[in-house]
Amino acid sequence: MVETVLVHYELPKVLSISPLGNFGGFSGAQLWRVQTAEDCLCVRCWPNFHPSKTQLAWIHQILLTAATDGCDFVPAPLRTRSGETLVQVSQRYWEVTQWMPGESLLCDAFTAQKLAAACRALARFHLAAAKLGTSNDRSPGIQQRYQKAWDLPNEIQRCREAVASMPADSIPGCCRELIEKAIAEYPRVTEALSQ
């Protein structure tokens, strides 16, 4: 499938394609590392349920703006032969970016200087992205969480019933405590999401 996507791009000879799964991410996207004769690329296949093509186009516009504005740490999407930043294959959206080398910084390796550098980089990104203006729409992520929050009482009740049906000594006390805390906090969470 990745080969079908790469045909849409003007690329040096592909030497290897390595599947990475979701590589620890939360988006549900699948990733591949592609080594070409000149550089290393990342191919991303977005889940078929989100984000929409419009949302991805907006994300790509932000990334391209930031990269053009000197944020060299941003994985800006490459353009296809036809000038697009997305390819649709098998009803899924795909993108290709430069491979961004690096590794996660563990908490115990974090220093004040590294934190300051991370904050400066984030500020540079936000300043670059701000040049695009703002959207009057709500954040898609907040909207999704708000929709899911409406079903939360049903989910909590199912958990409560499952825990009640189990022998008391098989369930840690914190489970019951967590369920009761979720019930108590639900109104505050939905109020914060609606704002």
pLDDT in tens, 141-185: 677 777 777 778 888 888 888 878 877 777 777 777 888 888 888
Mean pLDDT of 98-108: 76
Q: Kindly report whether the peptide bond that precedes residue 51 is cis, defined as omega within 30 degrees of 0.
A: yes
Q: Rounded to 5 degrees, what are φ and ψ at 106?
A: -70, 150
**In the chain, % of residues over pLDDT 90:** 25
pLDDT category at 139 given cuts 50, 70, 90 is: low
Cα–Cα distance measured from residue 142 to residue 181, given in angstroms and rounded to the nearest whole number: 22
How is the chain classified by DSSP, letter by letter?
-HHHHHTTS--SPEEEEEEEETTT-SS--EEEEEEESS-EEEEEE--TTSS-HHHHHHHHHHHHHHHHTT-TTS-PBPP-TTS-S-EEETTEEEEEEE-----PPPGGG--HHHHHHHHHHHHHHHHHHHTT---SSPPHHHHHHHHHHTTHHHHHHHHHHHHHTS-GGGS-HHHHHHHHHHHHHHHHHHHHHH-
* pLDDT at residue 64 tops 90: yes
Q: What is the structure's pLDDT at 137?
A: 62
At a CB cut-off of 8 Å and minimum separation 6, what does 65 contact?
Answer: 128, 129, 131, 132
* pLDDT at residue 109 tops 80: no
Tokens at 159, concatenated: 């958990």
List the single range of 57-61, 92-96, 176-180 with lowest mean pLDDT. 176-180
pLDDT category at 86 given cuts 50, 70, 90 is: very high
Tokens at 166, concatenated: 């189990």
Q: Does the pTM of the predicted model rise above 0.85?
A: no
Cα–Cα distance measured from residue 82 to residue 90, given in angstroms and rounded to the nearest whole number: 19
Tokens at 53, concatenated: 């093509």
- Evaluate the CA torsion angle 160, 163, 164, 169 in order and state its sign: negative
Better pLDDT: 125 or 112:
125
